[in-house]
Amino acid sequence: MANIVCSHIDKAYGAITVIKDFNLEIADHEFVVFLGPSGCGKSTLLRMIAGLEEISGGEVSIAGRTVNDLEPRDRGVAMVFQNYALYPHMTIYDNIAFGLKRMKVEKAEIDNRVRAVAGTLGLEPYLARKPTELSGGQQQRVAIARAMIKTPRVFLFDEPLSNLDAKLRNHMRVEIARLHQSLKTTTIYVTHDQLEAMTLADRIVLMKGGAIEQAGTPTEIYQRPRTLFVAGFIGTPNMNFLDVTARNDGEAWLLEGDGLRFRVGRERFDIREGQALTLGVRPSSLSISGNAEGRENILSGLIDLVEFHGDNALVSFRVGGVEIGALVPASNRPKTGMTVAFSVPAESLHAFDRATGLSVLRDRP
C-alpha cells in the first residue's frame, strides 16, 4: 500500500500538450476517481502513473519513490482495462496466474492464491475456460482477479465498467466498492460516469482539458461546485443555468434576469453591484408552489414536456428562452400545457461569474 504524489506533471504529444502542470497527492488507502468528459486527459494520466505512457515533465512518486523511469512491473501497480484485455489464448487460470509466474512464485503458492482470488470473485467454475467463453461481467471479474492476485500497492482502473450493460455495471460497481473496503489498496479509478464517481470515490478529481477543475469529496463537489463546468457536469438531471445581474438591495442581493428575480442573503454570495452572473439551480431544488404573481424566488412557465422517471418526473418549461427542468414527485406532476410556478429556496442557489465561470459562493463560516 502506498501514497501517490503527482507533481507538475506535463504530457505532450509533439506540439500538442494534453496535460499541463498536474498536481495531486493521493493518500494511502484512498479511493480517488478521475472524472471528466472524454479527451480531458484522465486516461492518459492514469497510463502515465501505470508506466504505459511516458511522462513529458514533472514527477510521479509511489510510496515515496520516484517512478518516472521505472517499468510498470517495478512500480507495484496493477491495472484493469476498459476492454478487460485478457489473454485470449490462455485459460482463466493462466490469465490470473500469468503475473505471478513472472515473479517466480512457487507453483503450489500460485495455485493457492489463484484459487483464493477466484473464490473471492466467484470465478472457480470458469478457471479452465477461455476468456471468450465468459460473459462481459465475468471477463471483467477475471481482469480484477488478475490485478488483485499480485497484491499491488496501487490499483488502477481505466473505465472498467463502460463496456458492461447498465444492470451489470451497477452490480460490478458494488463489488468494486466492497473489494476496496476489504483490501483498502490505494486506488485510482478513471471514469466518465458521474454516478460511478459519486458512489465509489473518497475523493473525485474532476478534469477538463488536461487540468484539474475541482478536487474534493463527492459531497463537496455536488454541493459546492467550484466552476460552472463542474456544476454542469455533476448531477442528473443537469443543473439549470440562467443569466442574471446582481443588484444591491440593502440587506440582500437581488439577482435579476429576463422575467425573474431572486432575493439572496448577503452571506451566501461574494458579489458586487452590477456583476454579470450565471445562476445555477438544480432540478431537484424546484418545488411546485401556488401562484407566481409578483413573488420572488419563483420560476414559472408553460410545461412543454413531462418525463416520467418512476418516483419522480422531470418537468420541462421555458423561462425567458431558457429550457428549465424541475424534478418533482411523480404523484404530484403537472400535465403538459399547464402553467406552473416553482419556488426555489435561496439557500439552494448557485451562482458563477459569467466572465470567469468561477463560483461566487462564499466559503462556509
Partner 1 sequence: MTVSRILGKTVLYLAAFSAVFPMVWTAINAFKNRVDIVTPTPLFIFTPTLDNFAYVLGRESVAAGLVNSLLAAGGSVLIGALLGLPAAYAIARYPNRWSADIQFFVLSLRFLPPVAVAIPLMVIWLDLGFYDTLTALIATYTLLTLATVIWLGVPAFARVPKEVEEAARVDGYGPYAVFLLIALPIAMRSLIGAVAFAFVLVWNEFLIALMLTTSDAKTLPIVASELTQLGRDVPWGILNASVVLLSIPPLLLIGILSGLLNNAFRRKSN
User: Which residue ranges make up the site for partner 1 (CB under 8 A)?
Assistant: 50-52, 71-73, 77-79, 81-83, 85-89, 91, 98-99, 102-103, 128-130, 133, 143, 146, 150
CA 135, CA 156: separation in Å to the nearest integer?
22
Nearest approach, Cβ of residue 205 and partner 1 (Å): 22
Nearest approach, Cβ of residue 122 and partner 1 (Å): 18
- Nearer to partner 1 among residue 186 and residue 214 (C-beta): 186
- Nearer to partner 1 among residue 30 and residue 159 (C-beta): 159
Q: Which amino acid belongs to residue 338?
A: M
- Nearer to partner 1 among residue 50 and residue 271 (C-beta): 50
CA 66, CA 108: separation in Å to the nearest integer?
34
Nearest approach, Cβ of residue 94 and partner 1 (Å): 10
CA 266, CA 253: separation in Å to the nearest integer?
6
Strand partners, 298: 343
- 8 Å CB contact between 278 and 360: no
Nearest approach, Cβ of residue 192 and partner 1 (Å): 18
Edge to edge, what strands does the sheet with 154-158 contain? 77-80, 154-158, 186-191, 31-35, 203-208, 211-216
- Nearer to partner 1 among residue 106 and residue 273 (C-beta): 106
- Nearer to partner 1 among residue 132 and residue 181 (C-beta): 132
Region of 103 (left: φ > 0; alpha: ψ -120 to 50; beta: rest) is alpha
Task: Give the burial class of 161: count Cβ atoms within 10 A of its Cβ; 0-12 exposed, 13-18 middle, 19 or more buried.
Answer: buried
- Nearer to partner 1 among residue 89 and residue 167 (C-beta): 89
Nearest approach, Cβ of residue 118 and partner 1 (Å): 15
Considering only CA atoms, give the Rg of the chain. Answer: 25
Nearest approach, Cβ of residue 92 and partner 1 (Å): 10
- Nearer to partner 1 among residue 82 and residue 287 (C-beta): 82
CA 126, CA 226: separation in Å to the nearest integer?
47
All residues at 6 or more sequence positions from 71 whose CB lies less than 8 Å from its CB, including other chains: 51
Nearest approach, Cβ of residue 173 and partner 1 (Å): 21
